[in-house]
Every structure is written in structure tokens, then in C-alpha cells.
Amino acid sequence: MLRAVPDLAGRANYRGRVVANILSENMEPPIWRELAEAVREEIEAGADGVVVMHGTDTMQYSASALSFMLDSPVPIVFTGSQRSADRPSSDNVMNAVCAVEAAKADHAETLVCMHASQSDDACALHRGTRVRKNHTSRRDAFETVGGEPLGRIDYEAAAEAGADGDAADAAIEWNREPLPRGETDLSTATDLDADVELVKFTPGMDPAAWEYLDDKDGVVIEGTGLGHVHTDLIPRIEELVESGTVVAMTSQCLSGRVCDRVYDTGRDLLDAGVVEAGDTLPGTAKVKLLWALANLSDPAEAMGRDLAGELTEESQPWR
């Protein structure tokens, strides 16, 4: 990385390690565990911050996974590149520089650091549990859903920061107060129950298509609107809940929260035992349920409660 991005030289004392060398679409829960353990080991060894270089296709899932598995006293910053280094429009240098400076700054968040716009002026700092890749190829593909990014780092200021930690903080404008550096003790809970599926309801879906869910420990449904599916699927869902499967409801809408108390279908889903996941993003909800089933005594209750910034208490309009 240092040979590929010479601009990183002199910004920090680096220690590097390869956890996995795979295409990000091949990421799996066991590798999330390996990544979390590697990050823990580096922090225990004295790292003041961690930058995770990751493919963009599944970066949001990995950032969510580490958000749940790790309580960290230092920053953990994911970054990647939408366009390869051999293209004139590559975003690799700017994203890497901003990520390193964000990892040196005074906070203890798990973030995704990627281009804030199509220009080379700033990177957005997204909370790991609230970010989504919303475009296949734009450099500013990543967005915080339902609100503003946690912060923004000015590229020119970051580029000038060099080895000066105070300058790294000066380059960042926070939209909300971040978790402070050093106030959280390092702890890990890396167990995951991989027997969880995320299913998307679509009109005309055959209830028989859900038979493969019979032996799952958890199911996250991506429903329509406020959290709905066809009424013919409700008996199938009730069977899953009665068999011990935790079934959580999210929405296909990009913003807003599920509320199954408004219409008859929603109330029937609640009667069937479905748990509302609020405005948790569907992908994040799957990762959360993977973690909650393995680590919490009441994972169903946890799906309706904020654990790592994934669920807001109340959805607010934003500009």
C-alpha cells in the first residue's frame, strides 16, 4: 500500500497485516471474526488507530460487523476505492490519505471513509452501521441513510497534516459529537450465528419459496413500506416464529422506519411474532442478528434496541 500510495509516507508509523486477500463479494462471517481479532490484537499491541482496506461491494457489512463485535478506545476506519489505481479518476489516494488522518484523530468511532462528492475536495465519515453503497461506480457512492454523515474530512487540510496529529483533528468537521478517544475499554464479542437469512419480499412471491428458512435461527425480512408482506405469507412467518426462529422486519425504503401498527397486515405480523427493527438498514439488521443470536440472551428484544448507532430513537426529517 505504501508503494502504491506514496502520499501515505510520513503520516504515521505503520504496521500492516493481511487478514484475507479476496474479492469483497466473497466475504463471509468467519472472516469478519478473523478481522475483528486482528484489529483487537493490533490495538492491544499499541496501535493508536486502525485503517481497514476493503473492497467497496460489501464494506458496509464488514463495518457493521466490527461495530457490533468490538468496543474500541481508538478509531477504526474502513476505506477502499471505487475506481482502480490505473484510472485517472481513481479515488484511491484521496480515500487512503483521509482514512489515515481520520484514524489519527480524536474519536473512537468505527467509520467508513469515502469520497463525499464527485470532486476531490473532501471525504465523508459515515458511521459503520448507518452507511450504504448507493451507486455502482460513482466515487461518492457511499451515503449515510436517513441523515448526514457523522463528519467530513477536508482533503487539502488532511494532505497538509502529515505527521501532526492536531492537524488531523483540524481537518475534520463533525456533524455530531463522536465517541471520544480513550474512554471506552477494549473488549470483543466475536461469536456469530451464521444461520441467518435476509429475504426480500416482492409481489407474487411464492410462499413455498420460503421453505428453506425452516431451520434458520434468524430471518430478516425486507418488507415494503412500513414493513409489509403479502398476507398469504403471514401463516408461514408465524410457523417460523413458533419453531424458535427470530424474525425481524425492516423496510425496502431507503429512509424511515417500520411501523406495523398502522395497517391490518402489520398488526397481523406483530401478532405472528415479528419484531420491528425500526430504521435499521436491512443489511445491518442481518449482521446485527448474526451477532445478537450468539451473544445476547434475548436477541429478539435487541433487534428493536440501538446497540451501535444502527437504530435511531426517532426518525427526523433532514435537509
Catalytic residue among 56, 110, 144, 265: 56
List CB contacts of 229: < 8 A, sequence separation 6 or more.
201, 205, 221, 223, 237, 265, 269
Q: Are 71 and 185 in contact (CB under 8 A)?
A: yes
Q: Are 189 and 296 in contact (CB under 8 A)?
A: no
Cα torsion angle, 34, 35, 37, 42, sign = positive
State yes or no: is 56 an active-site residue.
yes
Torsion of CA 252, 255, 258, 263, to 10 degrees: -80
Residue with cell 439488521: 285
Cα 218 from Cα 300, distance rounded (Å): 9
Residue with cell 477502499: 80
HSE of 69, CA atoms in CB hemisphere, 13 A: 28
SS3 274: coil
Q: How many CB atoms lie within 10 A of CB 309?
A: 18
| H or E element in which residue 169 lies | helix 165-170
CA-only gyration radius of the chain, Å: 20
List the alpha helices (DSSP H) in 203-281. 234-242, 264-271
List CB contacts of 203: < 8 A, sequence separation 6 or more.
230
One-letter amino acid for residue 112 of the chain: V
- Residues labelled as active-site residues: 56
